[in-house]
Amino acid sequence: MPSTIPRFKGALLARLQADAGLAGIQISWGNPHPARLADELIIIDAATALQTSGSLGARERDERYRLDIIVSVSGPARATQQSLEERAFALAAVIEKSITDWRESGLPQGVLWVQVEGISSGEAFTPQGDTREASVFLAVAVIARMAL
């Protein structure tokens, strides 16, 4: 089944990599393996979609999906969880601003709407206890139209 998801992910990746507010941050489409994970990492992750046609025999299809973006900030165990989490939320705010600006300056062909619609956070330690990590998870809503 055709989808706009790969094209949108590619456009989002290029946009975030070009954003001056994210300079020096590792940004990848999925896990960047085999590259070493940077202390500050943004992953354009999974998407879940629903597609609908306006009528039988329609020559286009609307696609609504949720795209997950993971923002991860790691540091030594002596770093405070607060400092890591605040940095992760600051990076998430840059991503949201970039997406909002994109809406105003013109979205990629076929994309009708994009917006950050949800956010959650989490934390982790390595099993060795020498590193801690804060994550922010962004849920991005996308509405697109594609020709069949």
Token match 């290029």: residue?
Answer: 14
Residue 129 lies in a domain: no
Sheet strands (E) in the chain: 26-29, 40-53, 60-76, 111-125, 131-147
Structural domain contains residue 79: no
pLDDT given for residue 136 in this prediction = 98
What is the average pLDDT across 82-105?
Answer: 96
Chain-centroid distance, C-alpha 76: 25
What pLDDT digit, counting tens, does each position of 42-63 carry? Answer: 999 999 999 987 666 667 889 9
Residue 65: its pLDDT value, please? Answer: 97
For the chain, the domain total comes to 1
Burial of 145 (0-12, 13-18, 19+ CB in 10 A): middle
pLDDT value at 1 more than 80: no
Can you list the alpha helix ranges (DSSP code H) found in the chain? 5-18, 81-105
Q: Enumerate residues 6+ apart whose C-beta is below 8 A from 23.
A: none
Tell me, what's the pLDDT at 59?
78
Residue range 122-141: mean pLDDT, rounded? 91
User: Whole-prediction pTM value?
Assistant: 0.92
Residue 64 falls inside a structural domain: yes
Residue 58 lies in a domain: yes
pLDDT, averaged across the chain? 93
Assigned domain for 12 exists? yes
In the beta sheet, which residues pair with residue 61?
Answer: 53, 146
Bigger pLDDT: 129 vs 81: 81
Q: Residue 55: what pLDDT? A: 65
Q: What is the pLDDT of residues 23-36, one digit of tens each?
A: 999 999 999 998 88
